[in-house]
């Protein structure tokens, strides 16, 4: 017998038929003797509609009331799934974030989890009860107000709850059947990974892979919660709960016997480049540029500095997300007097391609081979950043798919 947390996203609970399909997935695990908690998202499209309601009433709305509205989507799903389970003869009850309680910070719309009391759920397990929990939400203890965890918050809820109840595994059911070496829509030869280390998955999620939310991976790594990504569209009756199911296990690297040099290729088209030209090369210039950006809560990614031949001036190039581009450009322009640059060059037709793998730690020349392969295909590299287990390249957007396919083949990731 194992203790499982099962999480189902919006597409998995999009309508009554799919909610009943989820109930059969849960029943399969209960019938196998497992203790089960289920975390659910709002039905597909429900949160977007609730957000629209808020914006239609007031563009600048109160964030605490916004949370009270958008959290209701998960409340509906949790109640419906509990009813569906009861009709199958399974004792179940719904839980809202505030009832457990799942305590958070008071940053409405993007709250962070502070503490979870897993005791009520564990007490329910002892009675054979399935807990159906509304994801994405919690409560701020001091104010007593409902909070929401931001984009992908149900993943975060599920992993945090798995840690709180000491679950053997947290199964993330989604519309794909695992984590792939890259996006199969771009590289048809991409293959599903059986296992991937937390660090690798964290890099892939933060660099463009859409399968998992970054904060949920961070929580899994911190609390060593084994996370299993699997498809909710597999027929429940076709899966043997006593055998390893199809999917990808995200786990500590000690569970992976042999590491490939490269595990996967991630990419993001959501990038913009800003170059601050002819800045005086002296102490404090970088702070004058990046300080205002930090104050504006704009995250900067890749940074490249080039000093002129005479050593008197420098060019600083950096990237931000496309969503932050206009704000970042405006912030730099407003700080022009303090920075003292000659001009600002920008580009929005750029993409970031990243190569990830723990095996890079013990292999030299991994990045160099990529540079050669891309040069042979006529792909120009605008900027490069590296870390212990990944390197990222900024290129023109037009070459994104060519670069991803080239690197995927170069590192032997194509299906055999």
Q: How many other C-beta atoms lie within 10 A of the C-beta of residue 33?
A: 10
Q: Is 47 annotated as a binding residue?
A: yes
Q: Is 312 annotated as a binding residue?
A: no
Dist. CA 359–CA 369, nearest whole Å: 15
Burial class (CB in 10 A: 0-12, 13-18, 19+), 278: middle
Q: Is 176 annotated as a binding residue?
A: no
Q: How distant, in Å, are the alpha carbons of 29, 173, 196 from that of 178? A: 19, 9, 10
Q: Is 198 annotated as a binding residue?
A: no
Dist. CA 202–CA 249, nearest whole Å: 13
Dist. CA 182–CA 188, nearest whole Å: 9
Q: Is 7 annotated as a binding residue?
A: yes
Q: Is 10 annotated as a binding residue?
A: yes
Q: Among 221, 175, 220, 164, which residue's Cα sits nearest to residue 37?
A: 164
* 273 contacts 324 by C-beta, under 8 angstroms: no
Q: How distant, in Å, are the alpha carbons of 77, 90, 135 from that of 132? A: 9, 12, 9
Q: Is 175 annotated as a binding residue?
A: yes
Dist. CA 275–CA 289, nearest whole Å: 11
Q: Is 411 annotated as a binding residue?
A: no
Q: Is 211 annotated as a binding residue?
A: yes
Q: What is the DSSP letter of 380?
A: P
Q: Is 371 annotated as a binding residue?
A: no
Q: Is 314 annotated as a binding residue?
A: no
Helices (H) and strands (E) in the chain — how many of each?
13, 18
Dist. CA 271–CA 237, nearest whole Å: 43
Kindly write down the DSSP assignment for every residue of 35-90, as one continuous string: EEEEEE-PPTTHHHHHHHHHHHH-SS--HHHHHHHHTHHHHHHHHHHHHHHHHTT-
* 316 contacts 309 by C-beta, under 8 angstroms: no
Q: Is 8 annotated as a binding residue?
A: yes
Tell me the binding residues. 7-10, 47, 74, 174-175, 180, 185, 210-211
Tell me the binding residues for substrate. 47, 74
Tell me the binding residues for ATP. 7-10, 174-175, 180, 185, 210-211
């Amino acid at each position: 017998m194992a203790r499982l947390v099962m999480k189902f996203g919006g597409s998995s609970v999009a309508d009554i038929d799919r909610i009943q399909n989820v109930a059969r997935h849960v029943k399969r695990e209960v019938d196998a003797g497992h203790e089960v908690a289920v975390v659910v998202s709002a039905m597909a499209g429900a949160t977007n509609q609730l957000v629209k309601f808020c914006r239609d009433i007031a563009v600048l709305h109160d964030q605490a009331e916004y949370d009270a509205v958008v959290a209701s989507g998960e409340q509906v799903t949790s109640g419906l799934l509990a009813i569906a389970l009861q009709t199958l003869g399974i004792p179940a009850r719904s839980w809202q974030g505030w009832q457990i309680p799942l305590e958070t910070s008071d940053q409405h719309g993007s709250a962070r989890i502070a503490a979870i009391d897993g005791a009520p759920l564990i007490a329910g397990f002892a009675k054979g009860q399935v807990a159906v929990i509304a994801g994405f939400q919690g409560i701020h203890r001091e104010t007593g107000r409902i909070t929401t965890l931001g984009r992908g918050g149900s993943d975060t809820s599920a992993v945090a709850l798995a840690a709180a109840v000491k679950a053997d595994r947290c199964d993330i059911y989604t519309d794909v059947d695992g984590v792939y070496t890259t996006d199969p829509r771009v590289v048809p030869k991409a293959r599903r990974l059986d296992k991937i280390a937390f660090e690798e998955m964290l890099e892939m999620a933060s660099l463009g892979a859409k399968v998992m939310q970054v904060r949920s991976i961070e929580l899994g790594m911190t609390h060593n919660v084994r996370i299993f990504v699997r498809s909710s569209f597999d027929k429940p009756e076709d899966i043997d709960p006593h055998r390893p199911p199809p999917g990808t296990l995200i786990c500590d690297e000690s569970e992976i016997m042999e590491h490939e040099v490269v595990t996967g290729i991630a990419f993001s088209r959501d990038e913009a480049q800003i170059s601050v030209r002819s800045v005086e090369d002296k102490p404090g210039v970088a702070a004058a540029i990046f300080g205002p950006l930090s104050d504006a809560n704009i995250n900067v990614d890749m940074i490249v500095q080039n000093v002129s031949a005479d050593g008197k001036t420098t060019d600083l190039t950096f990237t931000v997300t496309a969503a932050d581009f206009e704000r970042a450009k405006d912030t730099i322009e407003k700080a022009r007097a303090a920075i003292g640059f000659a001009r600002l060059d920008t580009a929005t037709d750029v993409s970031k391609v990243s190569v990830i793998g723990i095996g890079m730690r013990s292999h030299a020349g991994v990045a160099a081979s990529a540079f050669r392969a891309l040069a042979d295909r006529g792909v120009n590299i605008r900027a490069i950043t590296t870390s212990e287990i990944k390197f990222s390249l900024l290129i023109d957007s037009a070459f994104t798919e060519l670069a991803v396919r080239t690197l995927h083949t170069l590192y032997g990731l194509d299906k055999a």
